Amino acid sequence: MLSAGRPVLSPFRKYLWALYFAVCLGWGIHDWGEILASPTMPNTTTGNIVPYNNHGKIIYITRSQSRAMIWEPCIGPILVLIVFLIRQRQTRHRT
């Protein structure tokens, strides 16, 4: 559906976008909360053995947190690119 040349989202799609945004925001806050609460000394019993520079303070995170720190920042740009390509495809089919 178009309104003044712009696509209008249905209420269901708006709800899905709001839910997606809330989940991503909650996930990010949870992850950063875990990073900020990480110990400053290595602890092999909890698995916090990977050093990470957190704004000049060395903390020790787990291997899974270290892997997540690598790929999590890539999700946003990839999703933006996917949405852009879908929108381009939709506008091409309407014309």
What pLDDT, in 10s, does the model give residues 27-50?
A: 778 777 777 788 899 998 889 999
- Work out the average pLDDT over 87-91: 77
Query: What is the total residue count of the chain?
Result: 95
pTM for the whole structure: 0.55
pLDDT at 37: 82
- Which pLDDT score is estimated for 42? 93
SS (H, E, C) 70-91: HHHHHHHHHHHHHHHHHHHHHH
Gap between the Cα atoms of 90 and 12, Å rounded: 18
pLDDT tier at 20, thresholds 50, 70, 90: confident
Contacts 24+ apart (CB under 8 A), 63-67: 65/31, 65/34, 65/35, 65/38
